[in-house]
Amino acid sequence: MRLIDADDFIARLDHVPMVQDAIKKAMDHMPTIEERKTGRWIDMDDHVMCSCCGATHYGADKNYCPNCGARMRGREK
């Protein structure tokens, strides 16, 4: 899945009004997802835990949680 700003995408098509209108109408019928959460990795003994969903992972070298998709903004003890 790739998250995009639909309004910005449509605005970039301003040089082709017919295409812009068609895409806007199509996007109005597309499902939306909730805004992406932001969390932190919580250091445990030998793993880390996501502050948003509580899922545990071994190694927090990712900047997002593979379980819930939250963006990770650092670590806490």
Query: SS3 for 52?
Result: coil
β-bridge pairing 38-43 and 48-50: antiparallel
pLDDT, tens digit, for every residue of 14-55?
777 788 888 888 888 887 777 778 999 999 888 999 999 999
The answer on pLDDT for 8 being more than 80 is: yes
CB 20 within 8 A of CB 10: yes
Rounded to an integer, the average pLDDT of 7-11 is 80
Assign 60 a pLDDT band (cuts: 50, 70, 90).
low
Instruction: Write down the pTM of the prediction.
Output: 0.54
Alpha helices in the chain (DSSP H): 6-11, 17-28
